[in-house]
Structure 1
Amino acid sequence: MSDTSRAAALLAQVARGLVRHGREETVRTLGDCRTDIGLSDVGRAITCLRAAVLNKIGGKPTETLQRQLVLQRGHWLEAGLIPAFRANGATLMSQLEISITPGDVPIRALLDLTLVADGVVRVQELKSTARLPDVLSPGYEVQLYGQIGLLYAYWNQPVFGAEGLSQRTFPQLVQALFGIVLPDTPERVDLEGWVLCVSMNDAKAFGPYGPDANMTDLVLKTAETLWHAMRQEDSNLPICPGFHPLCDWCDQTKLRVELTNRLGPDDADALLERITTNGNDYDRLTVSPLK
């Protein structure tokens, strides 16, 4: 076997291992993702409902090394930042879980990092990016609004869990883990959320975000839409003529933000101009969220 073939075999082994490890970690931490809605799912659905549904019911891990490195980098980021925050004396919990079922929609929110002090709570959503965005994507914003909104709305209900504990109110959970006493209502707490984007050589924080009743309502309604769309997909989801099922064509404002983050403003504007002037199918496929 040539050195080139041996190098390719080594990289293939790494890719397969990452796929297997990612699958095992997903089962361990999330279980069957088709049985509930996560806030990252809601963020995807805000950008493209079609992509969110396909990711939930038919997503299969790709074994290309490049894609796996992108997917796994977020987990490595969290593992690296937790000791960094703790070195500064921060009291935090990783992967705080909020499990609720409004109506018939099971929602399970996982918060990357939740920092707690007397009367102060900071939610940190971590994002690993190839390059730092100029503006935060709508999906990321909605995900964070959902996290702090559910934390605020369900503060004193036994729907929280972390570190092996479950079915506690948030104040009960914090007191059991850290001995910190929080008020029974969130109105007396300084509650903020931040998105921390980290690239290979830099970082950028977006925030602060506070609880917003309208955004919380949007998150819950989007989760309901996604949940019912998943059920309909199993029984022949109605098709919009001329488009893929669920694909009602992207809102240009959201699409412009997404493309600018991916391509830069000049290339994004040029591509949007081609799409809106000639409606070329290939160009539309190029900007599909599934790409």
Structure 2
Amino acid sequence: MEHKDRTEGLRALIKQGLQAVAHKDTLAHLGDRTSYIGMSDIGQHWECPRAALARKVLPTTSSLERLLTLQRGHWFESGVGQALVSLGLHVLPQLEINWQHHGVPIKAHLDFVLVWGAPVNAIRILEVKSTDKLPSSPHDSHLLQLHGQIGLLVKAWNKPVFSLRAEDGTLLHEKMTFPQLCHAHFGLQLPATAAEASVEAWLLCLSMKEVRAFGPYGFNQAMLDTALDHAAQLWGELADFRAGHISLAHVDCAQGFYPLCAYCEHNNDCPKFPQGVQMPQWEPALEKLAALKEQRAALDSEIKEMETVLKLVHRQAGTRDWVDTGNYRFRMSVTAGRTTLDRDALRDELAEIFHSEHVGGIDVDTLLARCERTGSPFEKLSISPIN
């Protein structure tokens, strides 16, 4: 019991330290986040307006696991920054853009902006996201955030709304145009308008073992308008909430299956989860099931690592035979991959064969739908923690 108490004490100490670091970093680089709309606020409002408003108006009580996840993002970002600077590149970390849209104060903080002056005149925005598993495609909220960043950079290029801070939060440059800031910080000459430069944005997703880049993305007026519209909606909801005109219950929440609901700090009274039957006696069973699933995930990861090691051992042994270890034997072999149907490729082939997207008066998609079979319904158990 004493050992458990000391272990919990150490966890509490680490949690307290992470909270202090997060609070200090936020004040130094982001300031009072309730006084403006940030790009991450816009992305979250796209996903769930209620969660975006709740994050602005309610205190957070992040768990140690949540704090570690957030800090992991900062640690990854710091590592990427060091890697870029070590190459001698001109890097602007956390470039700040202050913007007003119909009276709505907006601040964009760009993780990294790489700058090449004349004669190249190229600007590259890098937005860094840390994930447990790399996504096969970028999240819509991340894309909206990225398009908001590149959109404001292009629109505000020659306006005195750019600022840059040192690592400790000290202002280095304030209220400059983008060319002025780059000249003051790097001595680079940039054109007077963004149209004379190559401006692209990239989304960089990192896990503990891999990295995946999505892009490039260019300026898109429609996406910028969407981002600004969400900023205006959130600012209006924030004003109405502070005035007592609305509560969180009046704000839309994410609909349908949405995996991030389980991680939302404000899901305890979310209208998406109406009051159900109270059966507290099953709480221990759910806790045990959650723990077993975590153990299974850890075991699956450990099994995969061991299999990778043994495959490497067999390859280095230079044999195709079985390797005898005493009570076990193992061998690495190559098996054929699974055969799957590429629906998009089949659609293109059919349209090409019949020189049209209509086959005998039937739309190709309709023809494909006729050949699909839907499996029998099955039961699914959904479990979501109440935070």
Question: In the TM superposition, what is the alpha-carbon distance from 1:138 to its structure 2 partner?
Answer: 1.0
Question: In the TM superposition, what is the alpha-carbon distance from 1:201 to its structure 2 partner?
Answer: 1.0
Q: Structure 1 residues 185, 130: CA separation in 2 closer, same or farther (over 3 Å shift)?
A: same
CA separation in 2, counterparts of 1:162 and 1:248? Answer: 35
Question: In the TM superposition, what is the alpha-carbon distance from 1:247 to its structure 2 partner?
Answer: 2.1
Q: 1:219 aligns with which of 227, 230, 236?
A: 227
Residue number in structure 2 paired with 1:49: 49
CA separation in 2, counterparts of 1:207 and 1:5? Answer: 49
Alignment of 1:137-148 (within 5 A): 137-148=139-150
The two structures, once aligned, show a CA RMSD in angstroms of 2.4
CA separation in 2, counterparts of 1:5 and 1:114? Answer: 46
Residue number in structure 2 paired with 1:5: 5
Question: In the TM superposition, what is the alpha-carbon distance from 1:248 to its structure 2 partner?
Answer: 5.2
The residue type paired with residue 245 of structure 1 is H
Q: Do the aligned partners of 2:47 and 2:254 also contact (CA within 8 Å) in 1?
A: no
Q: Structure 1 residues 75, 216: CA separation in 2 closer, same or farther (over 3 Å shift)?
A: same
Residue number in structure 2 paired with 1:244: 249
Question: In the TM superposition, what is the alpha-carbon distance from 1:134 to its structure 2 partner?
Answer: 1.3
What whole-Å deviation, never above 9, does each CA across 1:132-169 have from its counterpart, x for those lacking one? Answer: 11121111000000000000011100000114101110
Q: Do the aligned partners of 2:51 and 2:253 also contact (CA within 8 Å) in 1?
A: no
Residue number in structure 2 paired with 1:94: 93
Q: Which has the larger radius of gyration?
A: 2
Identity %: 36
Unaligned runs of 5+ in 2: 166-171, 263-272, 277-379
Aligned: 1:76 with 2:65: no
Count of residue pairs the alignment pairs up: 263
Aligned: 1:120 with 2:128: no
SS in 1 for 2:37: coil
CA separation in 1, counterparts of 2:190 and 2:151? Answer: 17
Question: In the TM superposition, what is the alpha-carbon distance from 1:78 to its structure 2 partner?
Answer: 1.4
Aligned: 1:235 with 2:234: no
Question: In the TM superposition, what is the alpha-carbon distance from 1:80 to its structure 2 partner?
Answer: 1.1
Q: Which TM-score applies when normalising by structure 1?
A: 0.84
SS in 2 for 1:106: strand
Residue number in structure 2 paired with 1:18: 18
Q: 1:133 aligns with which of 135, 141, 158?
A: 135
Aligned: 1:31 with 2:31: yes
Question: In the TM superposition, what is the alpha-carbon distance from 1:219 to its structure 2 partner?
Answer: 1.1
What whole-Å deviation, never above 9, does each CA across 1:58-77 have from its counterpart, x for those lacking one? Answer: 14242x21111011111111
CA separation in 1, counterparts of 2:59 and 2:173? Answer: 30
CA separation in 2, counterparts of 1:2 and 1:162? Answer: 49
CA separation in 1, counterparts of 2:16 and 2:38? Answer: 26
Q: Structure 1 residues 205, 100: CA separation in 2 closer, same or farther (over 3 Å shift)?
A: same
SS in 1 for 2:192: coil
CA separation in 1, counterparts of 2:202 and 2:384? Answer: 28
Question: In the TM superposition, what is the alpha-carbon distance from 1:90 to its structure 2 partner?
Answer: 1.4
The residue type paired with residue 103 of structure 2 is D
Aligned: 1:174 with 2:174: no
The residue type paired with residue 88 of structure 1 is L
Q: Structure 1 residues 287, 152: CA separation in 2 closer, same or farther (over 3 Å shift)?
A: farther
CA separation in 2, counterparts of 1:11 and 1:25? Answer: 21
SS in 1 for 2:249: coil
CA separation in 1, counterparts of 2:254 and 2:145? Answer: 22
CA separation in 1, counterparts of 2:177 and 2:244? Answer: 40
CA separation in 1, counterparts of 2:173 and 2:128? Answer: 23
Q: Do the aligned partners of 1:229 and 1:237 also contact (CA within 8 Å) in 2?
A: no
CA separation in 1, counterparts of 2:79 and 2:183? Answer: 26
Q: Which TM-score applies when normalising by structure 2?
A: 0.64
Q: 2:196 aligns with which of 176, 183, 188?
A: 188
The residue type paired with residue 39 of structure 1 is M
Q: Do the aligned partners of 1:127 and 1:195 also contact (CA within 8 Å) in 2?
A: yes
Q: Do the aligned partners of 1:99 and 1:107 also contact (CA within 8 Å) in 2?
A: yes
Q: Do the aligned partners of 1:237 and 1:245 also contact (CA within 8 Å) in 2?
A: no
Unaligned runs of 5+ in 1: 263-278
CA separation in 1, counterparts of 2:81 and 2:227? Answer: 27
